[in-house]
Amino acid sequence: MQQEMYSSKMLFDPEFWDCNCAKNYIHKKPKNYCSKCGAIQADCPDSKVTEVELMYNSREDTALYLASIKNGR
């Protein structure tokens, strides 16, 4: 089962990571390399849940997604 990680009261999504690009910097794991900026997933942080929310077009979609990762799907 996947678990969310907390740091400084921020919730991070272990299924996504941020590269160094100014735009379109959220990548879904297991992609481990950004072809635009050259960032490697192992050297980059997980994405903030709030930013993943923005990537999804509605909070309903995000709520369904978050429920699925909490249930290990």
Q: How far apart are CA 29 and CA 20, in angstroms?
A: 16
In this prediction, residue 73 carries a pLDDT of 47
Taking only the tens place, the pLDDT of each residue in 17-51 is 999 999 889 999 989 999 999 999 999 999 999 89
| pTM for this predicted structure | 0.66
Quick: pLDDT tens for 45-71: 999 998 988 887 655 666 666 676 666
- Cα 18 versus chain centre, distance: 7
Give the domain ranges of the chain: 5-70
